[in-house]
Amino acid sequence: SQQGEEDPQALSIQEGENATMNCSYKTSINNLQWYRQNSGRGLVHLILIRSNEREKHSGRLRVTLDTSKKSSSLLITASRAADTASYFCATVNYGGSQGNLIFGKGTKLSVKP
Amino acid sequence: DVKVTQSSRYLVKRTGEKVFLECVQDMDHENMFWYRQDPGLGLRLIYFSYDVKMKEKGDIPEGYSVSREKKERFSLILESASTNQTSMYLCASSSLEGTPYEQYFGPGTRLTVT
């Protein structure tokens, strides 16, 4: 069952610009994670934000979480061509089966040099 | 670093064949997962396992079975492959310790059923 919905579905920007992707979800969560997938490869974990956190940073990544709106955003600053990938949010439902993530359908980011 | 490997990157099988997709992780993780990924549908959970010989159905288990005889290995079996099982298959593992629920993925197997 789908939980997170990423927005936009696709995003095209120039190198050096910032990229913002949004994720909305439906039920109460334990935490929310963002993953990246390079074309034809497996997913790589980027960052996790817990339900009691509002903002988290990791390098050029900034994640915010608004539990009242059931939404999260991923900001990539000063984007590079190597950031071209699909980005997925994933949630762990509060009280859900341990270890189970529910993934959104992803945002496809294209960064042009 | 955690490493999750899958037996094949690309696989072509005929309709009706029995297909085995193997996944091995080297970090002693308790949890292992099989997903399929299709354009426009995102990742969908087929089966998961929390322990050796344990298995739980995910969202789309029909047409699939799994086996976990050893902690590090989780196999996905297509009993009789059909063309609608053409897809990218992703295996993942996670630990109950450390960062909870962070999943580590293999590189994927792109299966084509003709």
Chain segment A39-90, per-residue pLDDT in tens: 988 999 999 999 999 999 999 999 999 999 999 999 999 999 999 999 999 9
Contact A98 B50 (CB under 8 A): yes
The residue among A6, A17, A41 whose CA lies nearest residue A112 is A17
Chain B interface mutation, best of A93, A98, A108, highest count of B Cβ atoms under 10 Å: A98
Contact B59 A1 (CB under 8 A): yes
Separation of alpha carbons A23 and B34, rounded Å? 23
Please check the confidence at residue B70 and state whether its pLDDT lies above 50: yes
Please check the confidence at residue A95 and state whether its pLDDT lies above 60: no
In the prediction, which pLDDT does B52 show?
A: 92
What does the H/E/C string look like for B7-41? CCCEEEECCCCCEEEEEEECCCCCEEEEEEEECCC
The residue among A11, A65, A103, A25 whose CA lies nearest residue B103 is A103
In the prediction, which pLDDT does B108 show?
A: 96
In the prediction, which pLDDT does A1 show?
A: 43
Q: State the pLDDT confidence band at A2, using cuts at 50, 70 and 90.
A: very low
Kindly provide the b/e burial profile for residues A49-77, where b requires at least 16 CB atoms within 10 angstroms of the residue's own CB. Answer: beeeeeeeeeeebbbbbeeeebbbbbebe
Mean of the per-residue pLDDT values of chain B: 93
Q: Phi/psi at B84 (nearest 5 deg)?
A: -75, 0
Tell me the chain A residues in contact with residue B96 when contact means C-beta distances shorter than 8 Å.
Answer: 98-99
**B79: closest CA of chain A, how far (Å):** 24
- Reading the block at residue A59, the tokens are 């390098």
Chain B interface mutation, best of A46, A105, A108, highest count of B Cβ atoms under 10 Å: A105
For chain B, the residues whose C-beta falls within 8 A of a C-beta of chain A are 4, 30-31, 33, 35, 40-43, 45, 48, 50, 56, 59, 88, 90, 92, 94, 96, 99-108, 110
